[in-house]
Amino acid sequence: MAHADTHALHAADHHDDHKPHGIGRWLFATNHKDIGTMYMVFALIMFFIGGAMAMVIRLELFKPGMQFVDPGFYNSLVTSHALVMIFGAVMPAFVGLANWMIPLQIGAPDMALPRMNNYSFWILPFAFTLLLSSFFTAGGGPAGGWTLYPPLSLQAGDSFPLTIFAIHMMGASSIMGAINVIVTIMNMRAPGMTLLKLPLFCWTWLITAYLLIAVMPVLAGAVTMLLTDHYFGTSFFNPAGGGDPVMFQHIFWFFGHPEVYILILPAFGIVSEIIPTFSRKPLFGYDAMVYATASIAFLSFIVWAHHMFTVGMPLAGQMFFMMSTMLIAVPTGVKVFNWTTTMWKGSLSFEPPMLFALAFLFLFTIGGFSGLMLAIAPADYQYQDTYFVVAHFHYVLVPGAVFAIMAGVYYWLPKWTGHMYSMTLAKWHFWVSTISVNVLFFPQHFLGLAGMPRRIPDYNVQFTDWNMVSSIGGFVFGLSQLLFVAVIIQSARGGPKATAKVWDAEPLGLEWTVPSPAPYHSFSDAPEVH
């Protein structure tokens, strides 16, 4: 939204490209680009660890009966897959993109609090070492599901305290990252860049950061109470001592539903950057997009009990949570309408970032529609805890959040490395991923509607065919991600030089005014924004 007065554009940038060397550059990093790179690499590693768990899950579900793992280990895989993908892959990937791009997009030389930025990254490897090492404790890894519902989660073995401490550390990291994003955007914008000139990616991240600060402490409070119930004789969630396990579910989902939007709002921002670029048109309805994002964030706080319809609640409660959940479709519909209208009569081209953004648009919407089905309280009694729910949230998170991350990487990768990548390889990655992700998750709708429960290692023989199809899709999708790694490595090692603008379009953001690769220190002098 901002035009930069780029006279004497970064004349001194070539002097600002001196980097520290060796391991110290990464251990003591305070440069937003270095920390962004570390976040992205960490997220990619976690994506493959969580993906390997998913492959074992799909292998076990390929046919009925127990084949490869015992049920306890299967439960640990399901639980850890979720925790690793949510807190280790998707969230750090978005924080990595925020670190790289927010200072470049607002014309700031760095994040506002660089040392805290370092701490918030380096907490993560320790948190996930703690979580994954719990697989080697007596009783195996955490097996009660990522929702950690008591009393099941309290029956875990020695993995329990490790999981709780790991979640605390992830939360601390997220809160520090969120504080950094808010302070950077509020205090470090280039002169002239008013809030309604912020790029959409910054806007969606600003709102996400407020969500994080509001709800991560709630999760921390819930798991602290679980810990004291387990070790210190309290009865917060233990009916034998006067507690209430349903209370945990309310607290958890008061965190859990905004968390869903924490995982998707930055994706909206990325798509809002890419579609105008490859449509050669400004974003349609910029102000409406901002207000829609804020509305979604507000509504995310008043819908939590739609995860709990079958727990039992008064009819008025069911009506309230059903209606408020459906209300979210309105601002989300505004967004889908605006992205579509941005493309209307645009001069479209279909480079890999645009392909992934378009796939996001269609496939996230499928996830949104199945979400509306789940929001209908009487219908939810049929869908609850079936594979329909698994299909729904995987459509939202994989071709939704993960595809948006891939779109963002393909969009900004030449700006990071200074090299273009192989369009052919990236398009292969897109088509194989898009086809296989649908083969993987679409049949799960049928399985769920036919009554197959989620979180089970064995199933009735009638569910065999679609499980086989789903597993084949899963293996292809998993293997196709190696193409993504190949493209990134190829671009990092060399290739055709990227220009400052990178794309043959008219991008509007400040990040396209700095050379490619972006100099180690950029915007030492603040640009003028009109």
Partner 1 sequence: MDGAITSPVSLVQRRARSPLRASTVSTATQGSRPIAKRRHNALLAIVLGLVALGFYVVFVVAGVLSGHAP
Which residues form the catalytic set?
81, 110, 146, 173-174, 257, 259, 261, 272, 306-307, 332, 335, 454
Of 230, 47, 239, nearest to 155 (Cα)?
Answer: 230
Continuous segment of H or E residues that includes residue 204: helix 200-231
In this structure, are residues 369 and 308 in contact, taking their beta carbons and an 8 Å threshold?
Answer: no
Q: Identify which range of 39-47, 84-92, 228-236, 495-503 contacts partner 1 by CB under 8 A.
A: 228-236
Q: Identify which range of 120-128, 131-139, 213-221, 262-270 contacts partner 1 by CB under 8 A.
A: 213-221
d(Cα 530, Cα 528) in Å, to the nearest integer? 7
| β partners of residue 528 | 5
Q: Shortest Cβ distance from residue 104 to partner 1 (Å)? A: 13
Instruction: Indicate the residue among 28 and 431 with the shorter CB distance to partner 1.
Output: 28
Q: Identify which range of 110-118, 258-266, 338-346, 357-365 contacts partner 1 by CB under 8 A.
A: 110-118
Instruction: Indicate the residue among 32 and 415 with the shorter CB distance to partner 1.
Output: 32
Q: Following DSSP, what letter does each residue of 316-385 receive, concatenated?
A: HHHHHHHHHHHHTHHHHHHHHHHHHHHHTT------HHHHHHHHHHHHHHHHHHHHHHHHSHHHHHHHTT
The string over 368-398, giving b where at least 16 C-beta atoms fall within 10 Å of a residue's C-beta and e elsewhere, is bebbeebbbbeebeebbebbbbbbbbbbbbb
- Among residues 56, 113, 449, 450, which is the contact residue for partner 1, using CB under 8 A? 113
Residues of span 161-200 touching partner 1 by CB under 8 A: 175, 178-180, 182-183, 186-188, 190-191
Q: How many residues bind partner 1 (CB under 8 A)?
A: 60
Q: How many residues does the chain have?
A: 530
Instruction: Indicate the residue among 28 and 369 with the shorter CB distance to partner 1.
Output: 28
In this structure, are residues 75 and 156 in contact, taking their beta carbons and an 8 Å threshold?
Answer: no
d(Cα 336, Cα 399) in Å, to the nearest integer? 15
Contact flag: residue 108 with partner 1 (CB under 8 A)? yes
d(Cα 48, Cα 132) in Å, to the nearest integer? 14
Q: Identify which range of 13-21, 90-98, 123-131, 396-404 contacts partner 1 by CB under 8 A.
A: 13-21
- Among residues 236, 356, 410, 441, which is the contact residue for partner 1, using CB under 8 A? 236
Q: How far is CA 464 from CA 72, 160, 268, 388, 446, in A?
A: 22, 34, 36, 16, 12
Residues of span 28-87 touching partner 1 by CB under 8 A: 28-32, 34
In the chain, the amino acid numbered 193 is M
- Among residues 9, 12, 311, 489, which is the contact residue for partner 1, using CB under 8 A? 12
Contact flag: residue 112 with partner 1 (CB under 8 A)? yes
Residues of span 500-529 touching partner 1 by CB under 8 A: 521, 524-526
> What DSSP character marks residue 497?
B
Contact flag: residue 233 with partner 1 (CB under 8 A)? yes
Ramachandran region of residue 480, left (φ > 0), alpha (ψ -120 to 50) or beta? alpha
Report CA torsion sign: 348, 351, 355, 361: negative
Angle between helices 352-375 and 315-327 (to 10 degrees): 160
Residues of span 239-278 touching partner 1 by CB under 8 A: 241-243, 247, 251
- Among residues 222, 262, 290, 514, which is the contact residue for partner 1, using CB under 8 A? 222
Residues of span 276-315 touching partner 1 by CB under 8 A: none
Instruction: Indicate the residue among 145 and 221 with the shorter CB distance to partner 1.
Output: 221
Binding site residues, partner 1, CB under 8 A:
11-12, 15-16, 18, 20, 25, 28-32, 34, 108-116, 175, 178-180, 182-183, 186-188, 190-191, 213-218, 220-222, 224-225, 228, 232-236, 238, 241-243, 247, 251, 521, 524-526
